[in-house]
Every structure is written in structure tokens, then in C-alpha cells.
Amino acid sequence: MKIDSENLKKLENLPDPETCIREVRNWLADRSEPPKAYLHVFGCQLNVAEGEKLAGILQSIGYVMTDAIQNADLILYHTCAVRENAEDRVFGTLGSIKKLKQDNPELILCVTGCMTAQAHIADKISESYRYVDIVLGTSPANRLAQMLYAYMQGIRHAQDITVQTEIPEYPGIVRNSRYKASVPIMYGCNNFCTYCIVPYVRGRERSRKPGDILTEVRELIQSGYKEIMFLGQNVNSYGKDLKNQITFPELLREIDKIPGEYWIRFMSSHPKDATPELMDCLLECEHVAKHLHLPVQSGSDEILKRMNRNYTIEKYLSQVDYIRQKDPEFSLTTDLIVGFPDESREDFEATLELVRKVRYDNMYSFIYSKRAGTKAASMPDGISDSEKSARMQELLALQREISITNHKRFIGKILTVLCDGESRKHPGIMTGRSSENILVEFPGDSDLIGQFVRIRITDSRSSCVTGNLI
Ligand code: SAM
Ligand code: SF4
Ligand code: F3S
């Protein structure tokens, strides 16, 4: 059900977010106990970081966050659209909570994020999932309080999926961890890789001001954070849209000057813009973790061209050579897509060949998923699903073999590890990641969580290395 024109006008003339926060807080204050909000985030780390802002706004309004969906007064799903199965999961979830809304008509149901930023999905929700009250697109933190204010004024099924281009700074971020923090440094993407929905839903590249990033990182380090993860769809183009231009390697070097015991990681780094200056930062900066995630997507030049990736395998390998000549064991990981439209056996063989050459420590591989509105969606595709799945299995088997061999290089060495939890399967075994982003398991106790520890590596498997505290 679309909202009528009178309500639409009201939506356009809402008070500013601060006023809305105040008004909604007063409206909720009558209740005998504080209202509860349940938030579930689908998708990538950028979405998780956005979720931390959404939780901050909900708390400033007066909500208490809950893990118990049945008791929630507000449910918010922050969604992803990168592959079809991500969207299927959200529709499945929405179906499963219909009963909650029927049992409690006062329950406020919001859906936000990359999936709902697509007009055809927002329409489908307002037509087929009419019990959803609020639909927002990407950067929903900018609009959430206003939409709740509109709800308070009686407006239901409100939608605003315009891309929010301002980058307000949020003081009230509710961080999921006390020692690892995600810091988005830019939003949007200009690259239009032909398979990818992200530029359509997140808009063009917008960089945060370096001063704001520095302030946030300084505060995080002062309050004991040990790992800062810089996020952006292509961090290598950070700063290109700012007046006082600053490059990503320059930003890294500025941050590296902040004293303290911490690591900086970042993702993603597009190979078309990965420069020797970036590699030098990785090798030289004390606080920059010794790991580079360099998503290649395919080992075939023909496929890369049709993906609009703007680099060749020769150029990619020259970047790998640059860093590996200076550090032959430098840890690299990647993203790969299997079964891009009409990917031939030869194209796939070229991917296997590249993986054998680079010897990644790990990879994230995905079967191509057709995304409505992207260029690749209209490309002919004669490759069957079963062939695509078989290729994926072949690629995974190759990577497993490589990971087993690669991990052996750490046996006998001492790795600094940021301990981040206890193994679910093996109580008493702690887990963490080394600077190289290698998963490390070791006996220890939960006091170590959030601390750097030194581990002598004694053994390795395909998924991790194991050792003992020293
Ligand atoms: N900006 C990052 C980059 O360029 O590397 C990638 C961000 S994207 C959200 C994460 C990964 O999802 C991509 O690297 C790609 O491998 C994969 N991906 C994106 N669109 C896809 C699609 N339509 N089908 C399968 N995998 C896809
Ligand atoms: Fe998608 Fe390409 Fe942008 Fe990454 S760089 S978000 S893969 S369009
Ligand atoms: Fe991230 Fe998914 Fe959007 S991967 S950028 S939440 S489409």
C-alpha cells in the first residue's frame, strides 16, 4: 500500500533528526518500562558498522536493545543485496515474523539497507509485506529518528530510499566490541563492476574528512581499542572527492603516527588503484597489519574486461610481485567470482592458474548471482548451474591444498595474536588473528580476550594454525 499524498507531504517536512529524537523519546516515556528494540544486520562489515550507528540512535531515543525478538517493541532488519540468497533470507525472515505483528499491532517493523534501496524491492515490500511500517535505504541512520517521528504522527508504510549523501558524524555509536572497531572512511562506489549492485544502492563515492577519522581513531585507541578496521568499497580512492586532497596511503601514515598498541586493517582495496605507495605503507608502517586483501574476481583478462574491473592479470601480478619481492611470505587474500556469464572452461582454468601462482592464504569465493539492473544481468549465459557448482568445488579444493601448505610456514615461529574469543567446539581453546590475518588457536582462558598475546606455533591445519602462549 502506497502512502497518500497528504502523508507524503508530511514526510517531506519532518523536523530535524535531533528534534525527532527528543519528540519520540517523550512519546515513548509514558510506558511503564523502557521499550525494547531488536536489530539484525545482514551483509558486509559496512552494514555491521551502520548497525552500530542504528543501535546508537535507538538507544538515544530510549530503546533498550534486546536479543529476544518475541519481546521486542521494534524490530529492525538492516539488509544486503549483493547476492540473491541474501535477499531470499530477508524475505523468509519477514514472512516468519508476520505472526508477531498480528499478535502485537503496536510492534514497529522497519527494513533498511542495500536490499530495500532498490525501488522494485521497496515496492514489493509495500505491496506484499504490508505489515512493514518503515522502509529506508542505505545510510538509514540519517533518517531513522525522523521516520519514527512520522510513525508517531500516524504515518504507516513510510518509505524513503533516496541515497543520503551527507555524512553526519554520530557521537552515540554502540560498538559491538570493546577492542575491535570498524571505521567507515568512505561511502558509495564509482566503479560499476558489471555484476555488482552496490553502486546502484549506495550511490557515488563520498570520503569522510581526514580530521573526523583521526579524531575517531584517537578516541578509540585512548579507550583501549586494539584493532581499527577502515572500511570502504575501494579505500584506494579515498580522498579523491575532497577539496584538500589526501591519498589513502597518506591517511594511513597519519594514523600510524598515533602512539599505542594497536593494528590498522582495511578493506577493500581495488587492484586498479593499488599503488606502490600503498604496498610500502603495508611494509613500513608499524601499526598497519601485514596482510592485504586484494580482490581479483577472475584470473581471465577476457572476464575481467567484461566485469569492467579495469586491470589485467599482468598488472595484478606485478602488484603481487612488488610486495612479495620485499617480503616473500607476505599474506594475501582475495575475492573470486565463479561462473560469471559465459565463463569458459579456459577462463576458469586461468583463475585456477592465478590462484596457484599467488598462493593466497585464504579466499572468499562466490558463485555469480544475477542482480537486476546491472549490466551483467543482460549478458547471455550458457553455463549450467551444475557446472558452476562443480567449478566452485574445484576452486575450494585447490585453495584448501594451498592453505594447508601455506600455514606450515608459521610452524616454529612466534606470532602476535589479538585474542578474540573462545572456540565454541573446544572449551578452553582460545582463538584470535595474527597480524597476517591468520586464524590462531591456543589453550588459554577468557581473560585474554581483547589482548595481544604471543603464541609459539606448533601445528597447522587448512583453516588455522595452533600453538601455545609464551
Ligand atoms: N568493493 C569490493 C571490491 O571491489 O572488492 C567488494 C565489495 S562486494 C560487497 C564483496 C564481494 O562480493 C565482491 O568482491 C565480489 O566477489 C562479490 N560479489 C559482488 N557482486 C556479486 C554477484 N553479483 N555475484 C556473486 N558475487 C558477487
Ligand atoms: Fe561492487 Fe566493484 Fe564497487 Fe566493489 S568496486 S563495490 S565489486 S562495483
Ligand atoms: Fe554490503 Fe551487501 Fe550492501 S555486501 S554494501 S550490505 S549489498
Strand pairing report for 180-184 and 227-231: parallel
Whether the predicted pLDDT of 469 surpasses 70? yes
Are residues 299 and 394 located together in one domain of the fold?
yes
What would the pLDDT profile of 357-378 be if each residue is shown by its tens digit? 999 999 999 999 999 999 999 9
Nearest ligand to the CA atom of 233: 1
Q: How confident is the model at residue 160 (pLDDT cuts 50, 70, 90)?
A: confident
Residue 335 CA to ligand 3 center (angstroms) comes to 14
| pLDDT of res. 340 | 98
Least confident of 74-78, 166-170, 346-350: 166-170
97-124 average pLDDT score: 94
94 sits in which H/E element? helix 84-96
Whether the predicted pLDDT of 126 surpasses 90? no
What would the pLDDT profile of 7-43 be if each residue is shown by its tens digit? 666 777 889 989 999 999 999 998 889 999 999 999 9
End-to-end CA distance of the chain: 63
Are residues 219 and 314 located together in one domain of the fold?
no
Q: Which long-range contacts (CB under 8 A, 24 or more apart) does 26-31 make?
A: 27/152, 28/61, 28/62, 28/63, 29/62
| pLDDT of res. 1 | 45
Whether the predicted pLDDT of 4 surpasses 60? no
Helix (H, G, I), strand (E, B) or coil at 450: coil
Whether the predicted pLDDT of 182 surpasses 50? yes
Are residues 301 and 391 located together in one domain of the fold?
yes
Are residues 372 and 415 located together in one domain of the fold?
no
Are residues 283 and 343 located together in one domain of the fold?
no
Query: Is residue 241 a part of any domain in this protein?
Result: yes
| pLDDT of res. 158 | 84
Taking CA atoms, 77 is separated from 43, 157, 174, 182, 461, in Å, by 11, 15, 16, 20, 36
Q: Which position has the higher pLDDT, 30 or 178?
A: 178
How many domains does the chain contain in total?
4
Query: Is residue 169 a part of any domain in this protein?
Result: no
Name the closest-CA residue to atom 2, ligand 2. Answer: 193
Cell (9 digits) for 28:
515513548
Are residues 183 and 100 located together in one domain of the fold?
no
Atom from ligand 1 closest to the CA of residue 189: 1
Are residues 460 and 447 located together in one domain of the fold?
yes
| pLDDT of res. 8 | 65
| pLDDT of res. 166 | 76
What would the pLDDT profile of 427-443 be if each residue is shown by its tens digit? 999 999 999 999 999 99
Query: Is residue 167 a part of any domain in this protein?
Result: no
Give the span between the Cα atoms of 313 and 1, in whole angstroms: 50
240-244 average pLDDT score: 91
The amino acid that residue 210 corresponds to is: P
Query: Is residue 92 a part of any domain in this protein?
Result: yes
Q: Which of 369, 386, 406 is the last residue in one of the domains? A: 406
Q: Which of 44, 45, 83, 196 to mutate to test the pocket of ligand 1 (most atoms within 8 A of CB)?
A: 196
Residue 62 CA to ligand 2 center (angstroms) comes to 37
Query: Is residue 274 a part of any domain in this protein?
Result: yes
Q: Which of 160, 190, 209 is the last residue in one of the domains? A: 160
| pLDDT of res. 9 | 66
Are residues 89 and 116 located together in one domain of the fold?
yes
Q: How confident is the model at residue 164 (pLDDT cuts 50, 70, 90)?
A: confident
Query: Is residue 1 a part of any domain in this protein?
Result: no
Query: 189: Cβ below 6 Å to ligand 3?
Result: no
Query: 82: Cβ below 6 Å to ligand 3?
Result: yes
| pLDDT of res. 142 | 80
Percentage, residues of the chain above pLDDT 90: 88
Residue that the C-alpha cell 584448501 belongs to: 400
| pLDDT of res. 30 | 85
Are residues 131 and 29 located together in one domain of the fold?
yes
Q: Which of 42, 112, 114 to mutate to test the pocket of ligand 3 (most atoms within 8 A of CB)?
A: 114
177-206 average pLDDT score: 96
Query: Is residue 165 a part of any domain in this protein?
Result: no
The CATH number for 418's domain is 2.40.50.140
| pLDDT of res. 311 | 98
Give the span between the Cα atoms of 203 and 93, in whole angstroms: 27
Are residues 361 and 277 located together in one domain of the fold?
no
Residue that the C-alpha cell 545510510 belongs to: 139
Ligand 2 pocket (Cβ < 6 Å) reads 189, 191-193, 196, 198-199, 233-234, 270
Name the closest-CA residue to atom 1, ligand 2. Answer: 196
Atom from ligand 3 closest to the CA of residue 47: 6
Query: 439: Cβ below 6 Å to ligand 3?
Result: no
φ, ψ of residue 146 to 5 degrees: the values are -65, -40
Q: Which of 235, 268, 289 is the last residue in one of the domains? A: 289
Contact by Cβ (8 Å): 331, 302: no
Query: 188: Cβ below 6 Å to ligand 3?
Result: no
Least confident of 161-170, 204-213, 219-228, 324-333: 161-170
Q: Does residue 463 have a cis bond before it (omega within 30 degrees)?
A: no
Residue that the C-alpha cell 508530511 belongs to: 10
Give the span between the Cα atoms of 151 and 159, in whole angstroms: 11
Name the closest-CA residue to atom 4, ligand 3. Answer: 44
| pLDDT of res. 7 | 65
Are residues 253 and 366 located together in one domain of the fold?
no
Handedness of CA 342, 345, 348, 350 (dihedral sign): negative
The CATH number for 99's domain is 3.40.50.12160
Query: Is residue 105 a part of any domain in this protein?
Result: yes
Residue 203 CA to ligand 3 center (angstroms) comes to 12
Its domain, for residue 449, covers 411-469
Residue 189 CA to ligand 2 center (angstroms) comes to 6
Are residues 233 and 360 located together in one domain of the fold?
no
Ligand 1 pocket (Cβ < 6 Å) reads 44, 82-83, 195-196, 198, 233-234, 268, 270, 295, 297, 335, 337, 366, 368-369, 371
| pLDDT of res. 171 | 67
| pLDDT of res. 404 | 96
Query: 80: Cβ below 6 Å to ligand 3?
Result: yes
The residues that bridge with 76 in the sheet, in sequence order, are: 39, 110
Give the span between the Cα atoms of 185 and 250, in whole angstroms: 13
